[in-house]
Amino acid sequence: MAKPKLDKDLKKAILSARKLVEELAKMDGNEAETRKRVDYIFEIVMGYDKFRHISSEYAVHGAGETVHCDFAIQLDHRESSKPDFLVEIKRVNIDLAPKHVRQAASYAIDIGCEWVLLTNGKEWKLYHISFAKPPQTNLIEAWNLMSDELTTLAEKFNIVGYKNIRRDGLARLWEKSNVLTANNLLKAILSEKSIMLIRQSLKKATEVTVSPEEIVGAIRRMLNEAALADMEKVRISLPEKKQRRKKTISKTKNVEEEPEAAQEEQSEKEEE
């Protein structure tokens, strides 16, 4: 499949952003310098107006003292509105760690914001906060400005870009993420209809007949531990085996199959 054509201006902006962060990493720049580069990326790559859409040092009033998140991205500034997402920034050469995720998530939870973006300029990670009891933090997207292809970077930055946020794109992204869970995918793959289609496809490609149980076993061996745990929760409906009728000898003919048995055998061949 041909790769989508990348807009020239966007390509130039991404390459410019990459060069800035590469230079900063070589200098081992501090968090303040990293923040300046990230601010620039939000403008030239993602299309935000720094004066209208980006609030620096956004005050978060939690149960304790007031703390400040690095950026809040907010298109609607009515009194009752909340940021579209928060941005927490770490120094360029610090690897993003679970403690940073917890810190960023805590800011979002305190103000009731569902999305938070964690970055050090090189790595970018987008999380969704589900306000269950306790709240759940889920990694939805991740990309690397230094190593990912330009078309991939254009796609990922678009997710948190001005145009997509204006169209409420994060809400649609969360809906898709909810559909494409391991549990839902396994339910679809392990349905009776899917197993039959896999069996027929393998037969056509290899001329080898495998049983539904063998297909389920092969899928099980392909999965990692987390997916295996999800698989144990899925009800598997294997296609029923069709019983062949025994051949009977007729007095008038040498060997004859009963019509019903012949039909069943033909049906089974079609399935295979």
192 phi, psi to nearest 5 deg: -60, -45
Here the tokens at position 71 are: 């950026």
Q: What CATH number is given for 8-178 in this structure? A: 3.90.1570.30
Of 102, 100, 59, 103, give the one whose Cα is nearest residue 82. Answer: 59
Which uninterrupted H or E stretch holds 192? helix 192-206
Structure confidence at residue 62 (pLDDT): 67
First to last CA, the chain: 31
Structure confidence at residue 254 (pLDDT): 47
Write down the pTM of the prediction.
0.71
162 phi, psi to nearest 5 deg: -55, -50
* pLDDT, one tens digit for every residue, the chain (272 residues): 456 678 899 999 999 999 999 999 999 999 999 999 999 999 999 999 999 999 988 888 766 678 889 999 999 888 778 899 999 999 999 999 999 999 999 999 999 999 999 999 999 999 999 987 888 899 999 999 999 999 999 999 999 999 999 999 999 998 888 787 777 788 888 888 888 899 899 999 999 999 988 888 888 887 776 667 777 777 776 766 665 555 555 444 444 444 444 444 454 455 44
Q: Where are the domains of the chain?
A: 8-178, 183-240+265-271
Of 103, 186, 85, 185, give the one whose Cα is nearest residue 141. Answer: 85
Question: Sign (positive/negative) of CA torsion 102, 81, 51, 57?
Answer: negative
Of 49, 48, 16, 21, give the one whose Cα is nearest residue 34. Answer: 21
Structure confidence at residue 152 (pLDDT): 96
